[in-house]
């Protein structure tokens, strides 16, 4: 029985029905889901403590300490991506799903691709800009 923890940056309040946050380091929370034999079995919310002296390094370390082995994100900088790769966390790219649950189901169905350099943010990428109010 294979068991992994998958984290998805989420808008407040987090959870399976929350909207995925577009940027790893600027999210409100990380919804962390236990996946066993390809199925969701449990979830919890890990709140983003923000950027400390190490920038996005702190959230990466916090997730690694919880045992996260997969992170699904729509955007992040090179530094957190590099650190995740060094720590053995697989990073997948996802964009356009309405909820964390939808994002996770796309991952479980094999619909997501590996996060690569084309998905990186470099300050002005717009991934973490709020949508205009209607």
Question: Which tens digit of pLDDT belongs to each residue from 5-56?
Answer: 999 999 999 999 999 998 888 899 999 999 999 999 999 999 987 766 556 7
pLDDT tens-digit map of 82-105: 999 999 999 999 989 999 999 999
At residue 55, the pLDDT reads: 64
What does pTM read for this prediction?
Answer: 0.86
What is residue 106's predicted lDDT score, i.e. its pLDDT? 97
Q: Is the pLDDT of residue 80 over 80?
A: yes
Sequence-ordered strand ranges (E) for 16-80? 29-36, 39-47, 68-73
Distance CA 23, CA 73 (A): 7
Nearest to 107 by CA among 14, 45, 16, 1: 16
Token reading at 75: 């955007």
- Rounded Cα distance, 113 and 73, in Å: 11
Predicted local distance difference test score (pLDDT) of residue 124: 45
Are 20 and 5 a contacting pair, CB within 8 Å? no
Locate the DSSP E strands across 37-118. 39-47, 68-73, 90-93, 113-114
In this predicted structure, what is the pLDDT of residue 1?
63
Average pLDDT over every residue of 99-119: 92
Please count the other Cβ atoms lying within 10 Å of the Cβ belonging to residue 47.
15
For residues 99-128, give the mean pLDDT. Answer: 81
Report all structural domains of the chain as residue ranges with CATH numbers, in order of start.
3-50+72-117 (3.30.420.130)
In the chain, % helix, strand, coil (3-state, to 5) comes to: 25, 30, 45
- Quote the tokens at residue 115: 């996060």
């Amino acid at each position: 029985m294979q068991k992994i923890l998958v984290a998805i940056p989420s808008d407040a309040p987090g959870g399976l029905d929350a909207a995925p946050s577009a940027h790893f380091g600027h999210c409100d929370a990380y919804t962390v889901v236990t996946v066993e034999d390809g199925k969701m079995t449990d979830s919890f919310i890990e709140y983003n403590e923000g950027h400390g002296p190490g920038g996005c390094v702190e959230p990466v370390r916090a997730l690694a300490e919880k045992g996260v082995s997969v992170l699904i994100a729509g955007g992040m900088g090179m530094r957190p991506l590099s650190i995740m790769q060094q720590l053995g966390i697989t990073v997948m790219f996802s964009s356009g799903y309405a909820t964390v649950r939808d994002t996770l189901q796309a991952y479980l169905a094999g619909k997501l691709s590996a996060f690569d350099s084309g998905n990186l943010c470099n300050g002005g990428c717009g991934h973490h800009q709020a949508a205009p109010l209607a």
